[in-house]
Each structure stands twice: as C-alpha cells, then as structure tokens.
Amino acid sequence: MNEIAIEQGRVSDKFVFGFWIYLMTDLIMFSVLFASFAVLRGATFGGPAEHQLYDLANALTETLVLLTSSFTCGLAMLAAYRGKQGQATAWFAATFALGAAFLGLELREFFAFAAAGNTPQASASLSAFFTLVGTHGLHISAGLLWMLVAIAQIRLKGLSPFVVSKLKRLSVFWHFLDIVWIFIFTIVYLMGHML
C-alpha cells in the first residue's frame, strides 16, 4: 500500500512540474504580447486614439468582477482543504458565474468596437489590443471549461487527494489570469487614458 501511495505522489509531482512549465510558457507569451502592445500603442493609422475608444468604467467593472472571482476561488480551495464538498462546489460555481460575467463584459466591449468599425484590421494598435485582451479571454474560457470539469469531479469523486491536487492547479491558473488582467487593466486601459 505504501508503494502505491509513493508512486501516486511521483505521478502527482510530475503533473505539478509540468503545470509550472506550462504556466511559465504562458507568462512568456503574455510578456511578448505586452511588449508588442507597448510598441504598437499609438499606431492608430489615423483612427481614434486609445483614450477615445476604451471605456474605463467597463474595464473597472471587469476588474472588480475578476478580482471577486479570485476571492471566491480562494474560498473554494479553503473549503476543499477542509473536506467540505458542498461548500467547495458552491464556491467554484460562484467563481464560474463571475468568470462568465467577466467574459460577457469583454465580449460586449469587443462587439461594440467592431460595430463602430474598430476591428483588428483597422490599425496596428487595435490589432495588438485585440490580440492581447483576446488571448486573455481565451484563457478565461479555458479556465471556465476546466472549472466545469472540476465541479463534476468534486461531485462524482469527492475531495480525494488527487482531486484536491487538480483543484490546486486550477486555482493557481485562475489567480495567474487575475494577475495578467491587473497588468492589462493598468497598461492598456489606465495608461491608455493617461497618454
């Protein structure tokens, strides 16, 4: 029995190491996207300036929604560590709802830009904006899908050590996306209004 537990620990360690490698590659990718945005900022091809496009109130609402989802994700993990399956499920469901609301706000912004003719093809600046913010949105979508799978696993398998290990990685991924959004909010939206 001890040999099985040791082997499961080794497999889990490999998953954790692989996850951190993945997260670091994501960090590099987002760094490149931020650098591209910084270089292309202001390259509007005669179109509207950034401060004329970005809705700071909407971006602030998105930020508050995502920060709240990070808090509920933390509460879900605390419940999981305590073995409270119902609470963990409920907090992950709340996190999912907040993440979906964030994604809805982001898509609404994208559609409003497109309706006004401000598409990625309109300028280099908008192309960089849509690529950076859209990539974050795709990661949020992947996180929401992962969260649905996690909720199903909690309900079907309970809070076994293996499931909690998966939940830890989901939580780290979700908090990582929150940190990336803080940089997007600051560099894209706030600095876009200041320049």
In the prediction, which pLDDT does 6 show? 42
CA dihedral 105, 107, 112, 116 (to 10 degrees): 150
- pTM for this prediction: 0.88
In the prediction, which pLDDT does 5 show? 45
Whether residue 59 is predicted with pLDDT greater than 70 in this model: the reply is yes
Q: Using the structure block, give the residue that is written with the tokens 């602030």.
A: 60
Residue 115 and residue 124: Cα distance in Å, rounded?
18
In the prediction, which pLDDT does 83 show? 94
Whether residue 9 is predicted with pLDDT greater than 70 in this model: the reply is no
| CATH no. for 55-194 | 1.20.120.80
Can you tell me the mean pLDDT for 38-63? Answer: 87
pLDDT digits (tens, 9 = 90+) for 93-135: 999 999 999 999 999 999 999 999 898 998 889 999 999 999 9
* Residues 167/149, Cβ–Cβ less than 8 Å: no
Whether residue 46 is predicted with pLDDT greater than 50 in this model: the reply is yes
Residue 27: which residues within 8 A CB-CB, separation 6 or more? 176
Judged on CB neighbours under 10 Å (0-12, 13-18, 19+), 15 is middle
Q: How far is CA 156 from CA 61, 86, 153, 184, in A?
A: 35, 12, 5, 37
Whether residue 53 is predicted with pLDDT greater than 90 in this model: the reply is no
In the prediction, which pLDDT does 13 show? 62
Can you tell me the mean pLDDT for 33-62? Answer: 88
The domain locations on the chain are 55-194
Structure tokens at 15: 């998953």
Q: What is the mean pLDDT of the chain?
A: 90
Can you tell me the mean pLDDT for 70-93? Answer: 96
* Residues 29/182, Cβ–Cβ less than 8 Å: no
Can you tell me the mean pLDDT for 163-189? Answer: 95
pLDDT digits (tens, 9 = 90+) for 136-147: 999 999 999 999
Buried b (16+ CB within 10 A) or exposed e, 62-90: bbebbeebbebbebbbebbeeeebeebbb
Residue 35 and residue 128: Cα distance in Å, rounded?
10
